[in-house]
DNA sequence: CTGAAAGCGCTTACAG
DNA sequence: CTGAAAGCGCTTACAG
């Protein structure tokens, strides 16, 4: 049982190799000033190997004021869009010997104590923050100013590196597709938070530019269940739209089922476009037309960006990425006069 | 800019309160032998408050040989079932002042180096391991023996605390539902790994017990895309089944779309039951009948169990939880003679 | 070029 | 009951 064997320390490696602890440390960290004889170096390396030595991260962290830990503050880990993002962020971090700690935005925003304990208390090296999904985000932004951070947000936030997602443009792309295929009566199902407001604005302005009427946002929330309820209510109240733009992939799924539950057909009676594409979109019946934003890539990019920032601090508002939204046409939309 | 202000140390709190560092530490940690005068204690507390003091976790970790970090090794964070589990595990951990670090099983199994650096190197206090989904898991089990762990698995693994999911029973419940509603020609769409094999066995034995024929598992993989391809091939090859049991929620979605793509109707031509229920099941068209296993609860429970185990080590194979699979009947199944 | 020593910020036996 | 001191395992200026 190796479970009872204590882990070897640097000093033991040094003793075994017949050198000082300092030298082992220097070799381990690739100190360029080290000019140890090849056989000395080999002895150190083989001692490390022999003892299966691994440096103690807490000791290192204490010395270096670096934990190798990145926090990822999310509203919904179980949102497929962000799950993918987390997944990619984790891989990118691991490749650079960082680890990702999961943080819950709601918990953080609610309990100042949690924020203090976990974010400040853990001495995280950096923070990724999903923003724009609700109230209480001021707290998060405050945190973001005390530690290197990348914020995923529609609004470039002053004094913060933000990874911009062009919400408005994505919604505009979705809306334009519907206009291009002859729809003139188009609704938007949204959710609370700035992100949705921006998408609504993309929807509204695109319709306005085309000289078409727009409707106030139908409040659907960020989940499929909420999207479903909102859609059933909306269509049940006699709304005569021929097309809907949904704020995100989860909500869109609920809108999808809500349209069906209301006894209308997709796309014959109502066309549907989702902002955000995800793995399940193509498996729906009918498959969901969607606007792709490469959030997985952004997750990886944000980690790279964040680690760079930790190494060489830079301040200020920076738009790091701003990918072009891509339309993927599937079965949930069809031209109005077809 | 508080970003430049150094964080206060224990010693500074002590100075401000006019006591020794040791006493502050004792008060902070609720040492029961402390009998400080109320005003002394108050002075300490208010000094902490005033400086917004937070103990340095690396210093503590170094002293206590405890990091407060739990690793969660997963195959697919973006699988909705496990995303939910991670979410709940995170909450449960946060409540006990532990943090969850995301680990990728595939990376761990592939690169021994990653395993060494991250799992041993990080000195994680404990490990949650999703098992049964592929090859190379021996490495994981080896790790699990060196640090307090809880393994999610069908098979209680020797020398490990395992949180058992009764895969076989869940699949049996799904299959029995189909038998009860008159189906006699039922297929199973599976995936690689022990988990799926166990579910297959549940399927097979239930049919056998009913005197009905069973088919070899259709290999669908753990994703919707794979489930889709496998189903299209399977049905395209002229299979005459009237019902399918799918290994998990993601695969089931692909089977769903695969049936539709093959020109058959759900449930009129083919009924479909998913092992595992998830948030999107009810939003499909038609909604998916599923067998619920409370994986979210298990995630939370596993964390509690793990932390207990860290506090008071216990060894050996233990079946920690074994919830009853619950059938949720929705629109994707219907009686054969209806 | 390498070794000895101090110190990162805690906690806790040991004295008093 | 509380303080002074040692030590957790590293890293790195400082000597040599």
Summarised one tens digit per residue, pLDDT across range B130-143 is: 877 666 667 777 77
CB contacts of A56 in chain B (<8 Å) are: 62, 123
SS3 A222: coil
Model confidence pLDDT, tens digit, residues A61-92: 999 989 999 999 988 778 898 888 999 999 99
Show Cβ contacts of residue A323 under 8 Å, excluding neighbours closer than 6 positions: A166, A293, A294, A297, A298
Together in a domain, A91 and A144: yes
Provide the CATH number for the domain around residue B14: 1.10.260.40
CA of B31 to C1' of C14 (A): 17
Nucleotide nearest to A23 in CA–C1' terms: C2
Model confidence pLDDT, tens digit, residues A298-326: 899 999 989 988 887 776 656 666 778 99
Q: Average pLDDT of A255-281? A: 97
> Taking 90 as the threshold, does the pLDDT of residue A146 lie above it?
no
Q: Average pLDDT of B156-161? A: 74
| Closest residue by Cα to residue B220 from B206, B207, B234 | B234
pLDDT score at A2: 39
A62 touches strand D (CB under 7 A): yes
Range of the domain at A279: 167-292
Sign of torsion over alpha carbons A221, A226, A231, A233: negative
CB contacts of B252 in chain A (<8 Å) are: none
SS3 A232: helix
A34-38, A179-183, A273-277: segment of lowest average pLDDT = A34-38
pLDDT score at A310: 86
Mean pLDDT of chain A: 88
Of residues A5 and A149, more confidence is placed in A149
> Taking 70 as the threshold, does the pLDDT of residue B317 lie above it?
no
The two beta strands, B218-219 and B186-190, are parallel
Nucleotide nearest to B36 in CA–C1' terms: D1
Sheet containing B243-246, strands listed edge to edge, beginning at the edge strand earlier in sequence: B218-219, B186-190, B243-246, B271-275, B289-292, B326-328
Together in a domain, A50 and A82: no
Q: Please state, in angstroms and rounded to a whole number, the distance separating the CA atoms of residues B138 and B118.
A: 17
Together in a domain, A285 and A187: yes
Together in a domain, B258 and B284: yes
Determine the distance in angstroms separating the CA of B128 from the nearest CA of chain A, rounded to an integer: 14
Q: Please state, in angstroms and rounded to a whole number, the distance separating the CA atoms of residues B321 and B51.
A: 45
Model confidence pLDDT, tens digit, residues A158-203: 777 888 778 899 999 999 999 999 999 999 999 998 889 999 999 9
> Taking 80 as the threshold, does the pLDDT of residue A9 lie above it?
yes
Together in a domain, A162 and A300: yes
Together in a domain, A49 and A87: no
Of A152-166, B137-151, B158-172, where does the model show the most confidence?
A: B158-172
Which residue has 């010395």 as its token pair? A63
Q: Within 10 A of B184 (CB to CB), how many other CB atoms are there? A: 15
Together in a domain, B287 and B177: yes
- Quick check: is A131 in a domain? yes
Q: Please state, in angstroms and rounded to a whole number, the distance separating the CA atoms of residues B291 and A196.
A: 34
Residue to mutate among B49, B55, B56, B58, with most A CBs inside 10 A, is B58
- Quick check: is A221 in a domain? yes
- Strand partners for A290: A274, A328
**Cβ distance A256 to A288 under 8 Å?**
yes
A120 in contact with B, Cβ within 8 Å? yes
- Quick check: is A181 in a domain? yes
- Quick check: is B329 in a domain? no
Extract the runs of DSSP E, i.e. beta strands, from A105-231.
126-130, 149-153, 161-164, 186-190, 218-219
CB contacts of B284 in chain A (<8 Å) are: 257, 284-285
Q: Average pLDDT of A284-308? A: 92
For chain B, positions 55-84, list CB contacts with chain A under 8 A. Answer: 55-59, 61-62, 67, 69, 76-78, 80, 83-84
Kindly state the tokens that stand for B256.
């769903």
- pLDDT band per the 50, 70, 90 thresholds, residue A115: low
> Taking 80 as the threshold, does the pLDDT of residue B276 lie above it?
yes
Listed as ranges, the nucleotides of chain D within 7 A of a protein C-beta are: 1-5, 7-13
pLDDT score at B143: 75
Q: Please state, in angstroms and rounded to a whole number, the distance separating the CA atoms of residues B34 and A281.
A: 61
Together in a domain, B160 and B260: no
- Quick check: is A324 in a domain? no
- pLDDT band per the 50, 70, 90 thresholds, residue A219: very high
Q: Average pLDDT of A207-236? A: 97
> Taking 50 as the threshold, does the pLDDT of residue A4 lie above it?
no
Of residues A157 and A29, more confidence is placed in A29
CA of A61 to C1' of D10 (A): 9
Task: Convert chain B into a string of H (helix), E (strand) and C (coil).
Answer: CCCCCCCCCHHHHHHHHCCCHHHHHHHHCCCCCCCCCHHHHHHHHHHHHHHCCCCCHHHHHHHHCCCCEEEEEECCCCCHHHHHHHHHHHHHHHHCCCEEEEEEHHHHHHCHHHHHHHHHCCCCCEEEEECCCCCCHHHHHHHHHHCCEEEEECCCCCCCEEEECCHHHHHHHHHHHHHHCCCCCEEEEECCCHHHHHHHHHHHHHHHHCCCCCCCCEECCCCHHHHHHHHHHHHHCCCCCCEEEECCHHHHHHHHHHHHHCCCCCCCCCEEEEECCCCCHHHCCCCCEEEECCHHHHHHHHHHHHHHHHHCCCCCCEECCCCCCEEECCCCCCCCCC
Q: Please state, in angstroms and rounded to a whole number, the distance separating the CA atoms of residues B56 and A61.
A: 10
B3-7, B30-34, B320-324: segment of lowest average pLDDT = B3-7
**Which residue is closest to C2 in terms of CA–C1' distance?**
A23
| Closest residue by Cα to residue A176 from A223, A139, A150, A209 | A209
Q: Which of A61, A83, A97 comes nearest B83 by C-beta?
A: A83
A22 touches strand C (CB under 7 A): yes
> Taking 70 as the threshold, does the pLDDT of residue B123 lie above it?
yes
Q: Within 10 A of A14 (CB to CB), how many other CB atoms are there? A: 18
**Percent of chain B scoring above 70 in pLDDT:** 91
Together in a domain, B182 and B233: yes
- pLDDT band per the 50, 70, 90 thresholds, residue B1: very low
Contact A225 B279 (CB under 8 A): yes
SS3 A41: helix
CB contacts of B86 in chain A (<8 Å) are: 77-78, 102
**Percent of chain B scoring above 90 in pLDDT:** 55
Kindly state the tokens that stand for B192.
């690689």
Contact A279 B102 (CB under 8 A): no
- Quick check: is A124 in a domain? yes
- Strand partners for B100: B70
Q: Which of B91, B101, B107 comes nearest A104 by C-beta?
A: B91
| Buried b / exposed e along B309-336 (16+ C-beta atoms within 10 A) | bbeeeeeeeeebbebebebeebbbbbeb
Contact A83 B77 (CB under 8 A): yes
Together in a domain, B220 and B127: no
Contact A282 B7 (CB under 8 A): no
B20 touches strand D (CB under 7 A): yes
- pLDDT band per the 50, 70, 90 thresholds, residue B2: very low
Q: How many domains does chain B have?
A: 3
Q: Please state, in angstroms and rounded to a whole number, the distance separating the CA atoms of residues B155 and B153.
A: 5
B254 in contact with A, Cβ within 8 Å? yes
Q: Which of A67, A78, A86 comes nearest B84 by C-beta?
A: A78
- Quick check: is A50 in a domain? yes
> Taking 70 as the threshold, does the pLDDT of residue A5 lie above it?
no
Contact A101 B97 (CB under 8 A): no
- pLDDT band per the 50, 70, 90 thresholds, residue A113: low
For chain A, positions 269-298, list CB contacts with chain B under 8 A. Answer: 279-280, 282-285, 287
Count of H-run helices and E-run strands, chain A: 13, 12
Contact A99 B114 (CB under 8 A): no
The two beta strands, A126-130 and A99-104, are unpaired
Rg for chain A, CA atoms, rounded: 26
| Closest residue by Cα to residue B89 from A324, A78, A299 | A78
Which residue has 């605390």 as its token pair? B161
Together in a domain, B173 and B249: yes
Contact A80 B83 (CB under 8 A): yes
- Quick check: is B330 in a domain? no
A96 in contact with B, Cβ within 8 Å? no
Residue to mutate among B57, B65, B278, with most A CBs inside 10 A, is B57
SS3 A69: strand
Together in a domain, B107 and B122: yes
Kindly state the tokens that stand for B167.
């895969």
Provide the CATH number for the domain around residue B155: 3.40.50.2300
**Cβ distance B319 to A265 under 8 Å?**
no
SS3 A58: helix
A63 touches strand C (CB under 7 A): yes
Rg for chain B, CA atoms, rounded: 26
């Amino acid at each position: 049982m190796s479970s009872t064997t204590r882990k070897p320390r640097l000093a033991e490696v040094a003793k075994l190799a017949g050198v000082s602890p300092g030298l082992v440390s220097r070799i381990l960290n690739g100190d360029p000033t080290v000019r140890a004889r090849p056989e000395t170096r080999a002895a150190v390396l083989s001692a490390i190997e022999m003892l299966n030595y691994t440096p103690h991260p807490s000791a290192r962290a204490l010395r270096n004021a670096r934990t190798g830990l990145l926090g990822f503050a999310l509203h919904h880990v179980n949102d497929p869009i962000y799950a993918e993002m987390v997944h990619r962020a984790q891989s990118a971090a691991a490749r650079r010997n960082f680890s990702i700690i999961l943080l819950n935005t709601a918990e953080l925003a609610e309990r100042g104590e949690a924020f203090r304990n976990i974010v400040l208390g853990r001495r995280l090296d950096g923070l990724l923050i999903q923003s724009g999904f609700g109230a209480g985000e001021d707290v998060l932004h405050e945190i973001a100013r005390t530690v290197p951070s990348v914020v995923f947000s529609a609004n470039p936030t002053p004094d913060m590196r933000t990874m911009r997602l062009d919400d408005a443009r994505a919604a505009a792309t979705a809306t334009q597709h519907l206009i291009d295929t002859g729809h003139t009566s188009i609704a938007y199902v949204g959710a609370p938070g700035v992100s949705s407001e921006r998408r609504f604005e993309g929807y509204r302005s695109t319709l306005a530019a085309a000289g078409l009427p727009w409707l106030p946002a139908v409040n659907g929330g960020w989940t499929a269940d909420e999207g479903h309820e909102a859609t059933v209510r909306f269509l049940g109240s006699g709304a005569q739209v021929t097309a809907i733009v949904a704020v995100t992939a989860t909500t869109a799924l609920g809108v999808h089922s809500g349209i069906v539950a209301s006894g209308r057909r997709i796309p014959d009676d109502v066309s549907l476009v989702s902002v955000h594409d995800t793995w399940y979109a193509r498996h729906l019946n009918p498959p969901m037309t969607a606007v792709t934003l490469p959030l997985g890539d952004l997750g990886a990019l944000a980690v790279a960006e964040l680690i760079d920032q930790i190494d060489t601090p830079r301040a200020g508002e920076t738009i790091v990425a701003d990918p072009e939204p891509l339309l993927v046409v599937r079965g949930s939309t069809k031209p109005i006069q077809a």
